[in-house]
A = this chain, B = another copy of it.
Amino acid sequence: MKKKATIYDIAKELKITAATVSRALNNNPKISEKTRKLVLETATKLNYKQNRLALALKSGKSKNVGVVVPFINKNFFASVIRGIEDELYPKGFHVIISQTHEDKDREKKIIQNLINAQVDGILLSTSFTNSNKEELRKELKKSIPFIFFDRVLKYENISTITINDYKGGFDATEHLIKQGCKRIAHFSVNQDIILYKNRFNGYKDALKKHGLPFKNEYVIYLKSDMEAGKEAAKKLMKLPVPPDAIFSSTDNGILGAVKYLQSKSIKIPEDFCVIGFSNEPFTQFLEPAISSVDQSPVEMGKMAAQVFLEQIENDQTIMVQKDVILPTTLIVRKSSSKLK
What is A's interface to B at a CB cutoff of 8 Å? 1-4, 49-54, 56-57, 62-64, 71-75, 78-79, 81-82, 85-86, 89, 94-99, 110, 112-118, 143, 255, 281-282, 285-287, 298, 319
Contact between chains at B57 and A85 (CB < 8 Å)? no
A97 near B95 (CB under 8 angstroms)?
Answer: yes
In angstroms, how far is the closest chain B Cβ from the Cβ of A286?
6
Q: A75-B75, A85-B98 are in contact. List 10 more A-B contacts (CB 8 A).
A: A4-B143, A52-B117, A54-B57, A72-B82, A81-B97, A86-B99, A89-B98, A97-B97, A286-B286, A286-B287
- Using known A-B contacts A96-B96, A115-B49, determine if residue A298 contacts B4 with beta carbons closer than 8 Å: no
In whole angstroms, how far apart are the Cα atoms of A286 and B285 in the complex?
A: 7
CA distance A285 to B288 in the complex (A): 11
Judge whether A51 and B96 touch: CB under 8 Å: no
Number of copies of this protein chain within its complex: 2
CB-contact partner of A73 in B62, B94, B99, B298, under 8 A: B298
8 chain-A/chain-B pairs, Cβ below 8 angstroms: A51-B116, A52-B116, A53-B56, A57-B57, A71-B82, A73-B82, A82-B99, A96-B96
The closest CB in chain B to the CB of A110 belongs to B89
Q: Which residue of B lies closest to A301 (CB)?
A: B73
Q: Chain B residues with Cβ under 8 A from A319's Cβ?
A: 1
Q: Distance (Å) between the CB of A112 and the closest chain B CB?
A: 7
**9 nearest A-B residue pairs (beta carbon):** A73-B82, A282-B282, A78-B78, A73-B78, A73-B79, A52-B117, A53-B118, A94-B96, A1-B143
Q: Are B282 and A49 in contact (CB-based, < 8 A)? A: no
Q: Which residue of B lies closest to A1 (CB)?
A: B143
- The smallest C-beta distance from A125 to any residue of chain B, in angstroms, reads 15
Instruction: With both chains docked as a complex, state the minimum distance between the C-beta of A324 and any C-beta of chain B, in angstroms.
Output: 20
Of B96, B110, B116, B286, the contact of A49 (CB 8 Å cutoff): B116
Decide: A57 near B49, CB < 8 A? Known: A73-B81, A95-B97.
no
CA of A288 to CA of B319 in the docked complex: distance in angstroms?
54
Which residues of chain B come closer than 8 Å to A2, judged between CB atoms? 143
Which residues of B sit under 8 angstroms from A255, Cβ to Cβ? Answer: 285
How far, in angstroms, from A287 to B72 measured CA to CA in the complex? Answer: 28
Q: Which residue of B lies closest to A50 (CB)?
A: B116
Instruction: Please indicate the chain B residues that have their CB under 8 angstroms from the CB of A298 in the complex.
Output: 73
Shortest C-beta distance, A93 to chain B (Å), equals 10
Report chain B residues within 8 Å CB of A99.
Answer: 82, 85-86, 89
Q: How far is the CB of A278 from chain B (nearest CB, A)?
A: 13
Question: A53's contact among B4, B57, B78, B98, by CB below 8 Å, is which?
Answer: B57
Task: Say whether, besides A53-B117, A118-B53, A286-B287, A72 and B81 are in contact (CB < 8 Å).
Answer: yes
Which residues of B are found within 8 Å of A72, using beta-carbon distances?
Answer: 72, 78, 81-82, 85
Are A96 and B143 interface neighbours, CB within 8 A?
Answer: no
Minimum CB distance partner of A112 in chain B: B49
A247 to B61: give the CA distance in the assembly, Å. Answer: 51
